[in-house]
């Protein structure tokens, strides 16, 4: 590897980590806005999401420049390809954080309803942990940490499926709760999608390190 390519790859990794930090902040703010009923915090998420979009475009342009300038092969090529995929996944996480923030704004104006601790506590904690660990596995190229993230996704899916049952029960008990119930279901679905994208990043780490394509293998 040339010194110029090594330097440019290190810079690219730093840019990707900065994007990851922005996305983490957006997700954390969105979840706090939802559970603490803070519209002001939700507004901040919308601002951060614009920064995420700008950073995502910049990183994509840098990847294309590296491909054209250095024509990398083997591990370096896999790394740049993975960065392009992770870049897109992080931007989509930002979109889902924005969607949660918007639902949080609506819910802050509505009467709260009782929910299971699985949704209130466990799901947000799982999602935040998966995002953090997927980024950590990327930085360290830690395949065991990446596999741990992939395993956690099953529990997220279970809680999201459980939310459909809870929402149905809320509506059956009081039809006036439809708006609240649907907003909460949307939030659960958006968190589940963030977990899916974290899993994608973990699978990209396995691709970078082992050269194995893990997606769509069930």
- Domain residues of the chain, as ranges? 3-210
pLDDT reported for residue 4: 83
User: Coil, helix or strand for 114?
Assistant: coil
Tell the residue number behind the tokens 């969607």, with chain if given: 99
Cα distance between residue 21 and residue 203, in whole Å: 20
- The pLDDT of residue 212 is 67
- Assign residue 39 a region (left: φ > 0; alpha: ψ between -120 and 50; beta: otherwise): alpha
pLDDT band of 116, cuts 50, 70, 90? confident
Cβ 90 vs Cβ 15: under 8 Å: no
- pLDDT, averaged across the chain: 92
Sign of CA dihedral 78, 81, 83, 89: negative
Residues 6+ apart with CB under 8 A from 73: none
Six token digits for residue 173: 């008990």
Give the range among 39-53, 128-142, 145-159 with minimum mean pLDDT: 128-142
Radius of gyration of the chain (CA): 19
Dist. CA 144–CA 165, nearest whole Å: 34
Look up residue 217 and give its two tokens.
Answer: 């293998």
Mean pLDDT of 186-211: 93
Is residue 218 scored above 60 in pLDDT? no
1 pLDDT exceeds 80? no
Task: Note the CATH architecture for domain 3-210.
Answer: Up-down Bundle (1.20)
pTM to 2 decimal places: 0.91
Question: Residue 175's CB: how many other CB atoms inside 10 A?
Answer: 9
CA distance 213 to 218: 12
Report whether pLDDT(75) > 90.
Answer: no
Contact 191, 127 (CB under 8 A): yes
In this prediction, residue 16 has a pLDDT band, given cuts at 50, 70 and 90, of very high
Give 6's pLDDT tier (boundaries 50, 70, 90). Answer: confident
How would residue 216 be classed by pLDDT, with cut points 50, 70 and 90? Answer: low
């Amino acid at each position: 590897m040339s010194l110029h390519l090594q330097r440019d790859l290190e810079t690219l990794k730093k840019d990707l980590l900065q994007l990851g930090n922005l996305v983490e902040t957006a997700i954390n703010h969105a979840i706090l806005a939802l559970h603490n009923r803070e519209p002001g915090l939700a507004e901040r998420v919308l601002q951060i999401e614009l920064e995420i979009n700008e950073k995502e475009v910049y990183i994509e342009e840098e990847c294309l420049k590296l491909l054209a300038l250095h024509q990398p092969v083997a591990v370096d090529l896999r790394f740049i390809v993975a960065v392009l995929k992770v870049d897109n996944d992080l931007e989509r996480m930002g979109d889902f954080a924005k969607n949660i923030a918007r639902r949080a704004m609506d819910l802050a104006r509505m009467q709260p309803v009782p929910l299971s601790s699985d949704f209130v506590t466990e799901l947000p904690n799982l999602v935040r942990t998966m995002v953090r660990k997927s980024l950590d596995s990327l930085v360290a190229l830690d395949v065991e940490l990446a596999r741990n993230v992939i395993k956690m996704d099953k529990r997220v899916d279970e809680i999201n499926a459980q939310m459909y049952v809870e929402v149905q029960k809320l509506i059956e008990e009081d039809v006036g709760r439809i708006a609240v119930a649907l907003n909460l279901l949307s939030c659960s679905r958006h968190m589940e999608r963030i977990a899916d994208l974290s899993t994608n990043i973990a699978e990209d780490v396995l691709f970078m390190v082992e050269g194995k394509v893990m997606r769509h293998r069930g």
